[in-house]
Structure 1
Amino acid sequence: MWGGLSEATPCIFLPMVAVVPFLALLLTANPAAQASKTFAQVAREADAARSSDQGQRAIDLYREGLKLRPAWSEGWWGLGTLLYDQDRFPEAEAAFQRFVATTSKPAPAYAFLGLCEYETKDYGQSLHHFRAWASHGWAGTSELIDVAMFHFGLLLARDGRFIEALYLLTTEVQRRGRSPALAEAMGLASLRMRSLPGDYPAEQREIVWLAGNSAVYAALPPNDFARADEFALRLLARYEKAANVHYYVGTLRGFEGKKEEAEKEFRRELELSPQHVGALLELARIDVEADRLPEGEEFAKRAVDLEPKNPETHHIFGRILLATDRVEEGAKELEAAKQLAPDGATIRSHLAMAYFRLGRKEEAKTEMAAFSELKAKEGVMVPPAEKIKPAKRPGQE
């Protein structure tokens, strides 16, 4: 017996004299300082694991650090990019969503969100995030920009935004040169097919391949029109009556400056497909330039009737009405175009002209101001090469 304790007393009660000072130290320590020190250590270890290509260990450490500090934006970025590299797209998407919510500079994360959602087939949200990325200046490394712009172009074509898709894909051809993937994407957009790669019948592979290679050669810097024409002639020889073949060749001829041949191809497309709105609009534009306004008006009116929710049909029709001095009617068509596409710079410019001719000077000034602002932002949809620069890490200036 020691001081009333029996030999059977557990030894855990014996060294209390030594334990009490230690407990006192723990109780008086600053809990926030302890947590901060723990977080700093975990953050350093996470970055070190990432730098040494220990992917899964880095993921685990980033998650540990984020439990300690949920607003750690660089942690969400690091976690998201690592998960993306491992093709763990739903988890990566969740991490990038948290990054966007915790940073003042979310731009590159929008591209990653678009890519993750593309892989999970959430195409509507993917397109939404790619547009957000574009509106924030296309931020990202050169590799990220290439991958994101390619998938953005695919989704624009799937959404029926063929001209925007071709602008983006042409930019990629000019940056990266020829590739089978770009040829397929260009072929789908050129033939106005609302399909993704591998998402269309096998028997259409050749027509897409021929149109795509023609479009790629036409887009290369410098333009290789000889090779583009070679593929276009093969396309016409094998698929003369297929939908959108003559429309594509007409577009190519126009790009080559061969206006008469372009008009011939658009008229042939219209023979084969009398309700082809794209061909109607192209022929209406050609007629406006050639001062053949009665025929141009007929084409434009047919286009409006076929696609009343297409801003370009109202735009072209409105221009023709202005040119034939039916200014009030023209203004109404241009207002309809503006309502459908408020970001259309040329629509706002033509509407300003209509208002000026009607004596509505204040409204004309408003539209011209909008036109000037939109023209200043016009590079957003198709970024020039000088805008494409490596991204900095989030938080860097």
Structure 2
Amino acid sequence: MSFFRVVFQLRNCRPILWCVAVVSLVLAANGPRAFGQENGSTDSDAVALFNRGQDLHEKGDLKGAIDLYRQTLKLLPEFPEAELQLGNAYLAQGNFEEAESAFRRSVELREDWTLALACLGSILVTNAKFAEAEPILLKAIKLDELNFPAYAAITELRIATNASKPVLRDLLNAVSSLTEKAKPTAAIWASRGALENALGDHSAAFSSALRALQVDRESTSAMTVAAAASLALGDPTRAEEYVARIEAAGRRSGTTQLLRAQILAASGKTDDAVALIDAMPSKSKAAVEFRERLRVEATENPADLEKLLVADPTDAAVLGRLCNLYRASSPAKAMQYCRSAYEREPSNISHAIGFAGALVQAKLYLQAIDLLREISKTSPDNSTVRANLATALFQLKRYPEAKGEFRWLIEHQPNLTTAYYFLAVSHDHLNEYLDAMANYQEYLRRADPVKDALEIDRIRLRLPTLQRQLDSRKGK
């Protein structure tokens, strides 16, 4: 499982106006057939109660709406629209058990009603009844290929059950085609982003989340996808902005708390992240796995971790931690563990970066450059990736390329003193003496006299000759 994967709450059965509008259309179309003429007074009373219930529902009076829907169903038990709206009201209250019961009854009364099928499938996903939800959602999609809520729910189901990559790609193709239709919903854009996240294309996921927010700037699912993508791209600050927006809107959930814990961990506040997860009243599978990941990340003894590998040799979290722990003491072992972690979870940027770093340390620069270039496609602003790439290029004397990477590092991390030194040397080797002089001098201004004594001595030996070359107008 990816380090930052969360189970996304994407479905769209909840918005009341949407359901009210659809139900009203159904009533308008089916009214004369749905209600028998012989019970005209009772039927009229039931419809009147139902309409009053919808009015309260729209105003946010869920308790009053539920009471009126129940009265409606006492008068007219075979009223699928009332069951559906009753389910939506319970859903808005967070009463998932009663919501599921109402949606089931709605489908029983009208078995091919795609709206009811989508809502039932959605609540089954919420209640983690994945095996039962799947055929219901697939039926809803088969009956209506533009059933956005059903696609959103099946997306969550596939991610929650760790579906294979081919299955996720097929679903992404289908969802992507829906986003190209007229007026795609925020939920379907968020579903696309969730699938892109699950497949490791985090930049595309973030773009899809932004498209969702253009449709609905308050979309919780879109902000969730944006936050998760930002974390995966190594940007906890941006992730924090989206989680804060969700929390400010009063929509805190287990998913939001998990994201908050992941942000804390990514910001180096591991103890706070652990405390937050431990305080959660109920923990999802993703939260439990992340808590275990934090425990592994805190382990300093490689021998303890290697014992864990006896039980599960494919545990990517343990492999990744061993990759880091052995980096200094045993580069060969580090390479082995880094490679294994990366092969186990190739979409996990932490493992990919660790493996690339091990390649650089082992002086396998060409392999490192290929991997780092690939990582850069999805994480162009990751400083660790840039630094390793700059190092590998420099060591291969590919100074024009290295120069560009060191410049990027200085622009984004101006206090990274060593970058000035290597940028100066790169310019020097390219006979760009004026730029070399400027960066040597900047390095001398910033360098630590004790820690950087060797480089300082080298520069001071080089500067007189460099100055003569400048005076004689040599170089570029």
- TM-score (norm. length: structure 2): 0.36
Greater C-alpha radius of gyration: 1
